[in-house]
Structure 1
Amino acid sequence: MRGSWSLLAAAAAAAAVAAAPFTAATKTLTPTQMEGPFFLDLRTLRRDVTNGRPGVPLYLQLRVEGGCKPGGYGCKRLPDALVDVWHTDSRGIYSGFSDRGVNATGRDWMRGTQVTRKDGMITFRTIVPGWYPGRLAHLHVKVRLAVPPANRGHVGCLPYRPPMGFTTQLYLPDALVRSIYAVPPYNSVDTYVSDIDQDVVLEGDAAEYAALTMAVWPATAAWCTANGFTSGSPWGMGHVATYTLRLQS
């Protein structure tokens, strides 16, 4: 799926106590991916989207850059962008819908919105998403431009302008999700099948999968404290995942 905005993906592999460093080892144009049927335009401003649902903690750090020249150069960090994130819980169920025998209408777990800071960054506390048949482990991201500073506290009143939006899906490394899906609460679902050929969105496109896979490393108590999160959970410290979204107009 292609749009009027193009996305360049780059992820950092090094961890730091404060903000994770974001470096661009490669500047390869990557495609958008479809919004899918489970988007809800709730615009709930929050960092923690878990609603207390069980699962391995995942701290999702995104940086949004814009004004990129062809090849991904000349990008500038983009403040005041509205960023939506949504994905399934540990059972592979989306909130807000009745699906696969679970009625989750009126619920809003694993959904949240933030406005990028001056450095173009946001951080969500969520969990490693579960999976469902026909899809690899993934989460959805939508970027909407731009949010006037005076309206940051009233995001729900802003008009939705599709031409100014960019939507994609991000993935977790296969080895990580395989290890997590082998233990509770994730192993209550059928055995995970990580076959790109069977993913109805990727359709066997290994290059696209690689371009949209986040860099992930174990979270530490120091990192959580420095970034304003309470560390630890019944499912361990969790992981930090980073990704840079580069928009080219």
Structure 2
Amino acid sequence: MSQDFDRQDSPDLPTRREALGALGALSAVPLIGLPGVANAADTWAEQYDALDYAAARSCALIPQETAGPYPLLSVLDDDTMMRRDITEGKTGVPLALTLKLVNVNKSCAPIGNAAVYIWCCDKDGVYSGYQQPGHDTRGQTFMRGIQLTNTKGAVHFDLVYPGWYAGRITHIHFQVYLNANTGGSATATSQLAFPQSVTKTVYASPLYAARGQNTSVPDFAHDNVFSDGTSLQMAKVKGSVDLGYSAKLMVGVAA
């Protein structure tokens, strides 16, 4: 993806200006066949500001974490990756994710026009774009996507609840690029955690039951990323297996 998200040789793809104009409209479109899931995420975003977390935490930087072994940073040069729905047909319990970027240097004021890149494994613990034990997904880009934050600092993604793989507890990776500049270095690289009670419920559901619970990492204390705490990375989650879940996280960035 070019630094300004323009693509001169692909007129069917939106320019950054067109994408920014459409972002608000896209966030109002419900996920087809999943009534209420995407709308719930949008409603949360409307109500989601620094006061939402005032009682639980201060305005603080999101911890820097490893991008892991499967970041596939080559997608940052691909205009088609600027999308809300990142499932590419993958099945699983629907998850509508909202991240809200705030500036820790300005009393947690929202950060607009920032590119947020997220990626995670599918319900079976497999990442796109790599050769892994038992799987070769090179050339695929499922469960990866980029969005630009709106004037309220929010981005929305539609995906499925990620599965697990040996050695790691359930998580989503993300990177933040200020001023939509994915050609430079990420301002923040971190990971989002999920409440264990929700994860256990999802993994007991029919689409995940074949793999079952993650016994390789029983809790956050045994995870090599979250063992030092999850207070700034723990998503707030609502929903159910039947209707899908909405998750949100405030991401503090020094802008």
Bin for the TM-score computed over the shorter chain:
0.7 to 0.9
The counterpart of 1:169, out of the listed 183, 191, 199, is: 191
Q: How many residues align?
A: 202
Query: 8 Å contact 2:59–2:252 — kept in the other structure?
Result: no
* 2:173–2:192 Cα contact (<8 Å) kept: yes
2: CA distance between counterparts of 1:127 and 1:217? 14
Q: Is the 8 A contact 2:204 2:212 kept in 1?
A: no
Matching residue's letter, 1:213: M
Under a length normalisation based on structure 1, what TM-score does the superposition of the two structures give? Answer: 0.75
| Larger proportion of helix | 2
Higher relative contact order (CA 8 A, sep 6+): 1
Give TM-score scaled by structure 2 length.
0.73
Tell me the equivalent position of 1:34: 66
Q: Which residue of 1 aligns with 2:203?
A: 181
Partner residue in 1 for 2:249? 243
Q: Is the 8 A contact 2:41 2:247 kept in 1?
A: no
TM-aligned CA distance change 1:34 to 1:103, over 3 Å: same
Structure-1 separation of matches of 2:251 and 2:201:
27
* Separation of aligned partners in 1, 2:204 and 2:224: 23
- Write out per-residue CA displacement over residues 180-229 of structure 1, whole angstroms, 9 at most, x where no aligned residue: 11123222225312322432223x32xx223311000117xxxxxxxxxx
State the shift of 1:159 in Å.
Answer: 5.6
Indicate the SS of the match to 1:37. coil
User: Matched residues, percent identical?
Assistant: 31
Instruction: Please tell me whether residue 120 in structure 1 is matched to residue 144 in structure 2.
Output: no
Report the counterpart of residue 31 of structure 2 in structure 1: none
1:110 paired to 2:131? no
**1:210 aligns to 2:231 (yes or no):** yes
Q: CA RMSD in A?
A: 2.0
Which residue of structure 1 aligns with residue 107 of structure 2? 74
| Letter of the 1:196 counterpart | F
Structure 1: give runs of 5+ residues left out of the alignment: 1-14, 148-157, 220-234
Equivalent position SS for 1:146: helix
The whole-number CA distance in structure 2 between the counterparts of 1:50 and 1:17 is 18
Residues 14-68 of structure 1 show CA distances to partners (whole Å, capped at 9, x for unaligned) of: x7873442212221634211111111221311000001111000000111112x2
**Cα distance in 2 between the residues matched to 1:240 and 1:191:** 21
Show the counterpart of 1:160: 183
**Code of the aligned partner of 1:166:** A
Residues of 1 paired with 2:153 and 2:168: CA distance?
Answer: 30
Runs of 4 or more above 3 Å deviation: none
How far off its partner does 1:132 sit? 0.6
Counterpart in 2 of 1:18?
Answer: 43
Q: Is the 8 A contact 1:91 1:188 kept in 2?
A: no
Distance 1:191 1:34, change over 3 A: same
Superposed displacement of residue 114, structure 1:
0.5
Aligned to 1:201: 225
